[in-house]
Amino acid sequence: MLVSREDTLAIALDTFLRFGFRKTAMEDVAQAVGISRQSLYQHFHTKAALFQDVVAFLLERSLTDAQRELDAPGPPHERLLGALDMWVGRYVESLRASDHASEIIDLANARCGEESKKIERVLTRSIVASLAKFAPGAKRAELKDVALSLTISAKGLVHSANSHDEFRRSMRTIIRVVLRSLLSESPEAPRAPVRHPRSAIKR
């Protein structure tokens, strides 16, 4: 049975979430993937190496998918929602369903914290670029603050939302409020024409 590296890493993640890192054996992952333990060891020499590759794969996939959403056609708020959903929101259900989510997250931060920060910085720059198209008159520092606020909100909601739907609803509200504020403060934002009362118009 031929299984792609990506599928192997995705299945390994599910296995780690099911049993926890400490209690997961390479045999558990091999059985879940449908290959022999020896075959698994040929690609990943230790459980720690497998876990690190799982985290790196998730970070890269999340960034790639998020950037694709930012570049997709559609309203700015929907593109931002799609990006943040692909980055972290889609994992809400898996994390809530696992009794070992805290262990996995803590270990991922310990093993791949610097890589995670690097990926987040790249995503932040991509969001800034997207926001600049929406509010071209806004200062870059302001756009960066908005982008950071959005990513921080998304990370917080991953842990507090009771469902993926709740994550999306809450994040959509946050994005709408932020964009409305950003647009109103942008010097180049389109403004509604001033309407004068008829009584004030001299004939």
Q: Is the pLDDT of residue 164 over 90?
A: yes
Going through 123-164 in order, the beta strands assigned E by DSSP cover none
Q: Residue 128: pLDDT above 80?
A: yes
Candidates 3.30.450.40, 3.40.50.300, 1.10.357.10, 3.30.930.10; CATH matching 58-185:
1.10.357.10
For the entire predicted model, the pTM comes to 0.86
Both tokens of 106, joined, read 């803590």
Please identify which residue in the block is written with the tokens 């809400």.
Answer: 92
Residue with the two structure tokens 């799982």: 54
Band of residue 2 on the pLDDT scale cut at 50, 70, 90:
confident
For the chain, the domains span 58-185
Q: Which among 161, 163, 191, 192 has a CA at the least distance from the CA of 174? A: 161
Of residues 75 and 3, the one with the higher pLDDT is: 75
CB 134 within 8 A of CB 182: yes
Q: Tokens in use for 34? A: 């449908």
Express each pLDDT in 32-87 by its tens digit.
999 999 999 999 999 999 999 999 999 999 999 999 999 999 999 999 999 999 99
Residue 139 has pLDDT above 50, yes or no: yes
What confidence score (pLDDT) does residue 186 get?
59
pLDDT in the model for residue 203: 40
